[in-house]
Amino acid sequence: MKTKLLGLAISMLIFACKEEAKTENIATRDIQQYTIEQFMDNEAVAGGSFSPDNSNLLVSSNRSGIYNVYTIPVKGGAMTPITASDSTSIFADSYFPNDNRMLLNADGNGDEIDHLFVRELDGTIKDITPEKGAKSSFYGWSEDDKYLYFGSNKRNPKYFDVYKMSLEDYSSEMIYQDDSGLSFSGMSDDENYFALVKSVNTNDSDLFIYDVTTKEMTKINDNQSGNSAQDFSKDSSTFYYTTDDGAEFSYLMSYDLATKVKNKVIEKEWDIMGSGFTSQGSYMVVYVNEDGKNAIEVLDAETMEPIELPDFGDQSITSVSFNDDETWMRMYVGGSNTPSNLYTYNLATKAQHKLTDVLNKDINPDDLVSAKVIRFKSFDGTVIPAIYYLPKQAAKDNKVPAMVWVHGGPGGQTRQNFSSLIQYMVNHGYAILAVNNRGSSGYGKTFFQMDDKNHGEKDLQDCVEGKNWLKTQSEIDSDKIGIIGGSYGGYMTMAALTYTPDEFDVGVNIFGVTNWMRTLKSIPPYWESFRESLYKELGDPFSADSVRLKRISPLFHTDKVKKPLIVLQGAQDPRVLQVESDEIVEGVRKNGVPVEYVLFEDEGHGFVKKENQIEAYSRILKFLDKHLKNKNAPIDGETESTEIEAEDTK
């Protein structure tokens, strides 16, 4: 099966020992402060499918304010808009293999019910998976370029079957039916072998190979471990997968489909997060989560030696993919202090072309802050990694307030990606410490499992210890430290304000879980294959675990909250329902605590529209300026709580 090697865009943390700030080296020049409109005038570009004649790339961009689809010449030039939606974001999947038709996808304003669309040669756009309420995902093209493969839960909302669709008339047939949560994870080019995965828990999974001819199902892993399908060799003789069996970090294995012999192929000091072959099989691309920055290797498939890639200095190549004849490679290149730009690289001529310049020209790159990796010991001696952004204007005699940032998940990881919100806050004088608390991915299997069934407890203490680390920094105002996060990070914000009410001075809750029982009972049906794993980590709301889940749910303990709070929520969110935020706001307001509530009627789990991001981020900064930076300062006419529905402010 021909799939695009869309780089996993995994940027990770480079190991660095803790460095004490040296204020004598701080630049004396003034740092210009930028508006949120200027930060949001940065452009986000994603994807990059080569046209059949290699003249153009098909990409997604939010330059219009929401994501639309564009083409751009492979050697550079103006972007040509393909879609012009002003409401729902539309994303590019791929050019068709043999003509300039385009495969696109879109959901309904963040409801995650994705459909696949074709942009025909005459410009019309057709929904080719129109079943109401069904979610569809593109899997790849057939080896003969006559079909596309996709997954859909139209037959059973709980499970995704695999379909093969004709590119001639868009008729489709089911080629694999899932009735047990064995999720499709790849297929050999000859269509004789399917890779299937069964989630055991949030870290471990069982991996199977299904032989279509013999109907034989073979389990690949011998022990309980984390396993992930990667790719099949081009001759369909060998299967490649990653596993952490017997190790802390995932490594790459091969499995001979005829002899069933396994061999270790590549092992690193960090997780190998992904690997796959290019279209002709000449190269293998390997992605490594290297504690800070994305480490990408492109290997000659015969020698397994890395080929030389362009050098971008202090910026990193965050993802790559190749065209079908392997003469061109596209790359995204960026860092924590700059959004990623799109480049192309001709492997024969070594010519490279920068296709985008996504940083707003009004912003001086020297005013932006590069992340540093630090580590601190938590209450029990566990070493916690974190990413630190210190404002350039901070000094011993110019102390700044700070925020502890908590990633989503559970099990996520904050990496050194560019974040407009983080840079905006840092530019306006707020230090950010992004804590990768126990339970975060990327630091080994043992670390990942350390928060199982103790969420809101030991992981929260890690965040408190992050605050304590900030208090020891000479540039930080130790009396002005808050906490911020989205999704699981939003839960951690509310847990902090509820269970450690004196530790943080303010909280920013971005669509955070506040009632674990309701959230776990109302997970979308298409998460069925993952539901039991989630219950094993967090607890089963239909069992005795419900006692603990209620105890760690901030909604039932809002009377303890006494610090200012802002809550931001999307009304279309299928994961953290709007009622979660409605009720936490109502509960905290009863305490007479300042509360602000920002609700977006046209967003889901994450805000993707620029006008909504501008509103959200500006409201966060205004809230922090009022309740943290100017803490204890008299404010005329201060009200106890405010609420704005963002739709009313447009």
pLDDT band of 13, cuts 50, 70, 90:
very low
Edge to edge, the sheet with strand 125-127 lists 91-95, 102-106, 115-119, 125-127
Q: What is the pLDDT averaged over residues 390-401?
A: 96
- Report strand pairing: 476-486 vs 507-510: parallel
pLDDT at residue number 536: 86
3-state secondary structure 452-499: CCCCCCHHHHHHHHHHHHHHCCCCEEEEEEEEEEECHHHHHHHHHHHH
What residues form DSSP beta bridges with 118? 103, 126
pLDDT at residue number 17: 30
pLDDT band of 633, cuts 50, 70, 90:
low
Tell me the CATH number at 386. Answer: 3.40.50.1820
Residue 80 DSSP SS3: strand
pLDDT at residue number 2: 64
Within 10 angstroms of residue 102's Cβ, the number of other Cβ atoms is: 23
Q: What is the pTM of this model?
A: 0.89
| Token code pair at residue 5 | 């090697």
Is pLDDT at 482 greater than 50 in this prediction?
A: yes
3-state secondary structure 10-70: CCCECCCCCCCCCHHHCCCCCCCCCCHHHHHCCCCEEEEEECCCCCEEEEEECCCCCCEEE
Is pLDDT at 47 greater than 50 in this prediction?
A: yes
Q: Which of 350, 235, 240 is nearest to 304 (CA)?
A: 240
Q: Look at the chain and report how many structural domains it folds into.
A: 1
Q: Which of 63, 147, 135, 134 is nearest to 103 (CA)?
A: 147
Has residue 377 been placed in a domain? yes
Q: What is the pLDDT averaged over residues 404-420?
A: 92
Q: Which percentage of the chain shows pLDDT scores above 70? A: 93
Q: What letter represents residue 32's amino acid?
A: Q
Range of the domain at 453: 369-515+553-633+640-649
Q: Which of 76, 30, 109, 13 is nearest to 574 (CA)?
A: 109
Q: Which of 149, 155, 144 is nearest to 128 (CA)?
A: 149
Q: Which percentage of the chain shows pLDDT scores above 90? A: 83
Residues 48, 54: Cα–Cα separation, whole Å: 11
Q: What is the pLDDT averaged over residues 477-498?
A: 97
Q: What is the pLDDT averaged over residues 208-216?
A: 93
Is pLDDT at 635 greater than 60 in this prediction?
A: no
Has residue 469 been placed in a domain? yes
Q: What is the pLDDT averaged over residues 341-362?
A: 96
Has residue 479 been placed in a domain? yes
pLDDT at residue number 25: 38
Q: What is the pLDDT averaged over residues 350-364?
A: 96
Is pLDDT at 21 greater than 60 in this prediction?
A: no
Q: For 287-318, how does the pLDDT look when each residue is reduced to its tens digit (9 = 90+)?
A: 999 986 789 999 999 999 999 999 998 888 99
pLDDT band of 558, cuts 50, 70, 90:
very high
Q: Which of 248, 245, 295 is nearest to 14 (CA)?
A: 295
Residue 152 DSSP SS3: strand
Residues 556, 560: Cα–Cα separation, whole Å: 10
The answer to whether the peptide bond before residue 401 is cis (omega within 30 degrees of 0) is: no
Has residue 583 been placed in a domain? yes
Is pLDDT at 4 greater than 70 in this prediction?
A: no
Q: For 170-192, how does the pLDDT look when each residue is reduced to its tens digit (9 = 90+)?
A: 999 999 999 988 999 999 999 99
pLDDT at residue number 1: 72
Q: Which of 117-126, 278-287, 445-454 has the lowest mean pLDDT?
A: 445-454
pLDDT at residue number 75: 97
Has residue 348 been placed in a domain? no
| Token code pair at residue 290 | 């290297």
Q: For all residues of the chain together, what is the average pLDDT?
A: 91
Q: For 64-86, how does the pLDDT look when each residue is reduced to its tens digit (9 = 90+)?
A: 999 999 999 999 999 999 999 99
Has residue 419 been placed in a domain? yes
Has residue 134 been placed in a domain? no
pLDDT at residue number 460: 97
pLDDT at residue number 640: 42
pLDDT at residue number 29: 59
Q: Which of 8-17, 206-215, 332-341, 626-635 has the lowest mean pLDDT?
A: 8-17
Q: What is the pLDDT averaged over residues 536-541?
A: 90
Has residue 424 been placed in a domain? yes
